């Protein structure tokens, strides 16, 4: 080490120790937000704020639609802007979309880009559902505004909350199954690792034993044989020890290679099924603002503007749900990284990750039930 490095080392060491604890900021911040939301009435304040802004935007949309009907060339841009704002305020209130995407991102090893895409598709799915409900009810059933909104609020909303709760239970059961398998196979994994190390040790011992044989045409000296035997024994012991600890079978948290697909790799095959379930559970319940917009524009003969506004409204909702998805992935990745560092043994790390998945599923199910009961 140079003199320059020696002088800088004492100052750098405390800083590095301090930086190692930065990962705590994300879970502590999330815990603080959760405490404020449900412990100090923060969720109710946000809900009132979001509802008030949604009413103001709805009133502005009605005026802008009348201007659009009157031929104002700037009304279309204003309407789309108001639709995006309504979607954002709609997402800001308590909702099932943020709950499901955030909980799923916390409990499952899904990539940030993929979860963000699911958030966008879910919001656009809500817009598509609103178009189907409104034009199906108005044209096929001949319903009015009250019947259409009643269908969405009295039937589709509880169905969506129930679907979210079922996905939460499914996620919890999957985490429980992973935890149970890890607990049952703990001893078997240890025996398998030991047997794997013993096999490698035997193979290396055999290879090095052949190296101690004299070359044909030469004569081995008595002094050489003990030396080579000691070398073989030491190499076998060291390699067996290192391989047993560095390369456990099926390890998902170690930095070493694995000799087969991990459980996460196998479950990624079902990624499309998970994506469809998430999108479907969120999209079942159409946005009330989209219903209002579609009904009003249909009555005024502006169906194209209404459909476009509904999907722009979905993009406004996605602007916030994507942020929730990214936060959940960052929290999950930081937690997994610290678990891998704190629990170097694969079975302990796998149990901790299974417990995280179980907890996320239980949280989703409980909060979905909290939303479902008042809607019944």
What is the SS3 assignment for the chain? CCHHHHHHHHHHHHHHHHHCCHHHHHHHHHHHHHHHHHHCCHHHHHHHHHHHHHHHHHHHHHHHHHHHHCCCCCHHHHHHHHHHHHHHHHHHCCCHHHHHHHHHHHHCCCCHHHHHHHHHHHHHHHHHHHHHHHHHHHHHHCCCHHHHHHHHHHHHHHHHHHHHHHHHHHHHHHHHHHHHHHHHCHHHHHHHHHHHHHHHHHHHHHHHHHHCCCCCCCCCCCCHHHHHHHHHHHHHHHHHHHHHHHCCCCCCCCCCCCCCCCHHHHHHHHHHHHHHHHHHHHHCCCCHHHHHHHHHHHHCCCHHHHHHHHHHHHHHHHHHHHHHHHHHHHHHHHHHHHHHHHCCCHHHHHHHHHHHHHHHHHHHHHHHHHHHHHHC
Find the range with the poorest average confidence among 92-96, 113-117, 235-239: 235-239
Could you count the other beta carbons within 10 Å of the beta carbon of residue 322? 20
Percent of the chain with pLDDT over 70: 67
pLDDT confidence bin for 115, thresholds 50/70/90: very high
pLDDT at 337 over 90: no
Q: Phi, psi (5° rounding) for residue 285?
A: -95, 110
Please report whether residue 300 resides in a domain.
Answer: yes
**321 with 104: CB under 8 angstroms?**
no
Instruction: Look up residue 194 and give its two tokens.
Output: 């030991």
Please report whether residue 62 resides in a domain.
Answer: yes
Please report whether residue 88 resides in a domain.
Answer: yes
Please report whether residue 304 resides in a domain.
Answer: yes
pLDDT of the residue at 259 = 37
pLDDT of the residue at 375 = 79
pLDDT of the residue at 164 = 92
Please report whether residue 240 resides in a domain.
Answer: no
The total number of structural domains in the chain stands at 1
pLDDT of the residue at 28 = 66
Structural domain harbouring 365? 45-186+271-375
Instruction: Show contacts of 224-233: CB within 8 Å, 24+ apart.
Output: 232/205, 232/208, 233/205
Please report whether residue 182 resides in a domain.
Answer: yes
Please report whether residue 219 resides in a domain.
Answer: no
pTM for this predicted structure? 0.69
């Amino acid at each position: 080490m140079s003199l320059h490095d020696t002088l800088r080392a004492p100052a750098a060491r405390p800083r590095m120790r301090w930086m190692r604890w930065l990962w705590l900021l994300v879970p502590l911040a999330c815990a603080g937000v959760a405490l404020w939301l449900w412990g100090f009435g923060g969720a109710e304040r946000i809900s009132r704020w979001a509802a008030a802004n949604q009413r103001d935007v709805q009133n502005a949309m009605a005026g802008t639609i009348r201007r659009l009907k009157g031929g104002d060339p700037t009304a279309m841009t204003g309407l789309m802007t108001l639709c995006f704002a309504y979607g954002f305020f709609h997402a800001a209130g308590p909702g099932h979309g943020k709950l499901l995407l955030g909980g799923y991102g916390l409990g499952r090893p899904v990539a940030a880009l993929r979860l963000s895409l699911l958030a966008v598709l879910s919001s656009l799915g809500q817009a598509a559902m609103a178009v189907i409900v409104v034009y199906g009810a108005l044209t096929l059933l001949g319903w009015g505004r009250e019947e259409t909104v009643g269908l969405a609020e009295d039937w589709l909303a509880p169905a969506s909350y129930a679907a979210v709760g079922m996905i939460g239970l499914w996620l919890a059961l999957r985490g429980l199954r992973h935890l149970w398998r890890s607990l049952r196979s703990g001893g078997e994994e240890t025996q398998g690792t030991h047997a794997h190390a013993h096999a490698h040790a035997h193979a290396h011992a055999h290879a090095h034993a052949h190296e101690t044989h004299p070359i044909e045409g030469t004569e081995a000296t008595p002094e050489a044989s003990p030396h080579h035997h000691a070398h073989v024994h030491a190499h076998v012991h060291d390699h067996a020890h290192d391989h047993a600890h560095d390369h456990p079978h099926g390890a998902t948290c170690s930095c070493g290679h694995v000799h087969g697909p991990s459980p996460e790799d196998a479950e990624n095959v079902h990624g499309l099924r998970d994506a469809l379930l998430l999108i479907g559970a969120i999209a079942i319940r159409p946005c009330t603002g989209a219903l209002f917009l579609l009904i009003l524009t249909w009555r005024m003969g502006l169906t194209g503007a209404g459909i476009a506004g509904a999907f722009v409204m979905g993009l406004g909702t996605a602007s916030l749900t994507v942020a929730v998805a990214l936060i959940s992935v960052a929290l999950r990745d930081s937690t997994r990284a610290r678990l891998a560092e704190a629990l170097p043994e694969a079975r302990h790390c796998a149990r901790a990750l299974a417990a995280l998945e179980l907890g996320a599923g239980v949280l989703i199910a409980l909060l979905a039930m909290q939303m479902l009961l008042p809607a019944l």
